[in-house]
Chains A and B, each alone.
Chain A
Amino acid sequence: MNTTSQATPRSPAAMLAQGAAFGLIFGFLLQKGGVAKYHILMGQLLLEDWTVAKVMFTAITVGGTGAYLLARMRVIKLHLKPTNYAANLVGGLIFGVGFALSGYCPGTGAAAFGQGNFDALAVMFGMMIGSWLYAESSGYLGRTVESHGKRGKLAMDQLLHVPRTIVLLALWIILIGAFLFR
């Protein structure tokens, strides 16, 4: 059986058009969810507004179940980013600091700019500077901080030695609980 059974041809032009289509819908949903707003994103970081957590946790649980089922049926391929303990941890903390300072994240920043928050354009400009600075230091960081705890592709169920369905079931229990007691 063909393991990559997508029928869609993926010419470069088709890929650009597909990226545009998914971006259009993603941006529409981010704005409708309210997560393109500064006070909603900062409200989550101040633990005063839980919109971001609700959107993300629902997306993770629903999408996780769909991706698991379709991958099992060999309809899609999963694309796990490699687990690098030190880089995920240190980079994640640095990201969080910048997230709070700027008030937007990379996807919601583009959405915020789209809805008319002009300060988000400055965040997008800053992100290009930061990406460049990372690229400049990527050789050094790769030899030092990022060289620790490289585990490659590693999923929660492998780490915890439980079936993937159990991990997904736990997510559903948390999600339904949060929804019922909202």
Chain B
Amino acid sequence: MHSLPALWVGQLPGPGPAAWSPWLVGLLIGLLVVAALYVSDRPIGASGAYAKVAGLIGKRVAPRHTARLPYYADNPPGIDWEVMLVLFVALGALLAAWHGGEVTGRWLPPLWEMRFGDSLGLRLLFAVGGGAVMAFGARMAGGCTSGHGISGALQLSVGSWIALICFFVGGIITAMIMFPGV
């Protein structure tokens, strides 16, 4: 591991010239959440989809064991509205990236590479491990940056605001440890 080149200190490149205004995107996402409540009677969320798919695999491998887990008794696995949402988030992002000439096609994000080098194994370790920790936390908290952070917070749910603040407290502390001196 090496320290960051001076270039990166306080000089992250921003969203890029193809990006839309964050205020406009926020406004449209706010309207989209309301539209989802109207059309589908569902708040937009993402993390539950990963649990639904994990449960489907669990049901295949160990059906009786999976049925006994309290979480899956309350939240049956399956392909539902939220799973379709997450799958199509990837497609929508591909269309947007293609439209803006921003398709990346790479394994290592540049900022990661500048800090931690070009080891794919190290990145995958952080990606899989971090993803696991994040999903565990999302299930305990009852949602993620979308479900609590946007949909829950905009309904002014107290628990969603607590979760949202804690997402960033935990994230900021960890990020500062990972990137000291930035």
Contacts and interface: CB of A to CB of B under 8 A. Distances in A.
Interface of A: 4, 6, 8, 10, 15-40, 42-43, 45-49, 51, 54-64, 66-67, 70, 75-85, 87-120, 122-136, 138-139, 141-142, 145-146, 151, 153-159, 164, 167-168, 179
**Chain B interface, DSSP helix/strand/loop, else mixed:** helix
Given A42-B175, A97-B133, A132-B55, 20 more contacts: A8-B39, A16-B80, A19-B83, A24-B89, A56-B149, A56-B150, A63-B150, A70-B34, A78-B155, A89-B163, A91-B139, A95-B138, A96-B174, A101-B133, A101-B178, A111-B90, A115-B96, A130-B135, A138-B71, A146-B140
B50 A106 contact: yes
B103 A90 contact: no
B60 interface: no
- Output the residue of A6, A49, A123 with the most chain B CB within 10 A: A123
Interface of B: 10, 12-16, 18-20, 22-23, 25-44, 46-47, 49-51, 53-55, 57-58, 66, 69-72, 79-97, 100, 102-112, 123-124, 126-176, 178-179, 182
A157 B164 CA distance: 17
Contacts of A33: 15, 19-20, 22, 25-26, 29
Contacts of A70: 34, 37-38
A59 B150 contact: yes
A104 B97 CA distance: 17
A117 B39 contact: no
